[in-house]
Amino acid sequence: MAEAARTPAEIEARIARRRRDLAATLDEIAVRVHPRTIVGDAKARAAETVDRTAGRAFTAVGRGVEGVRGTFVSPEGAPRLERLVPVALLAVAVTGLLVLSSRRRRD
- Write out the DSSP string of 26-67: HHHHHHHHSHHHHHHHHHHHHHHHHHHHHHHHHHHHHHHHHH
Mean pLDDT of 75-104: 92
Instruction: Note the pLDDT of residue 2.
Output: 53
Contact 47, 55 (CB under 8 A): no
pLDDT-derived band at 1 (thresholds 50, 70, 90) equals very low
pLDDT tens track for 3-56: 568 899 999 999 999 999 999 999 999 999 999 999 999 999 999 999 999 999
Q: Which residues, in sequence order, are CB contacts of 37 under 8 Å at separation 6+?
A: 31
Cα–Cα distance list, 79 to 31, 61, 71 (Å): 61, 21, 9
pLDDT tens track for 91-102: 999 999 999 998
Say whether pTM exceeds 0.75.
no
